[in-house]
Amino acid sequence: MSGLRIAVIVGSTREGRVGDGVAGWFVGVAKQRADLVIDLVDLVDFDFPARIPQQATAEMDRFVAAVEHADGFVVVTPEYNRSFPASLKQAIDYAYDEWHAKPVGFVCYGCGSRGHHAAAALRVVFAELHTVTMRDEVAIDLMDAESGHEPAAAVLLDELVWWGEALRSARAVTPYVA
């Protein structure tokens, strides 16, 4: 089989965000692997409606297509008030079946807590969407100038590949039933 198609979703749309830089770093690490095909899905590049309409818009459909096309996901998210951004929740809710039986990993960041609360809150959401969330995550403290997150990224990507290949094979043999 070809490499796993992983959508790296940038969850913050806030002006002045650091999420695009964090995602750029992570994509650079992930692209060094021959077993992955990386697609960057930056929510700032979508023109989502302020309110969810009765009929999906073209932009909503474009996001859902990106979710459907992926074999797995890495969500890059800040922690805002011990959770994740509303922009990310809005986008997640546009898809449902398209998430099923796929692995999800997290690259989270924040001040002090390193984004752990955002990842924990997302695990609950993604459980409802019938995904498998990775145990390990990349967690970055914006108040600490430390670097060296590559080992954590490698662990996350190893887990994502294992689960991604297993779930892709399972979906090919037996369609997932929710």
What band does 148 get if pLDDT is binned at 50, 70 and 90? confident
Say if residue 148 is exposed, middle or buried (CB neighbours under 10 Å; 0-12, 13-18, 19+).
exposed
Q: Is residue 87 part of a domain?
A: yes
For residue 64, the enclosing domain spans 4-173
Task: Report if residue 29 sits inside a domain.
Answer: yes
Number of domains in the chain: 1
Q: What pLDDT was estimated at residue 25?
A: 96
Q: Which pLDDT does position 146 carry in this prediction? A: 73
Percent of the chain with pLDDT strictly greater than 90: 92
CATH assignment of the domain containing 32: 3.40.50.360
Q: Is residue 32 part of a domain?
A: yes
Assess if residue 47 is contained within a domain: yes
Does residue 59 fall inside a structural domain?
yes
Q: Is 178 within the bounds of a domain?
A: no
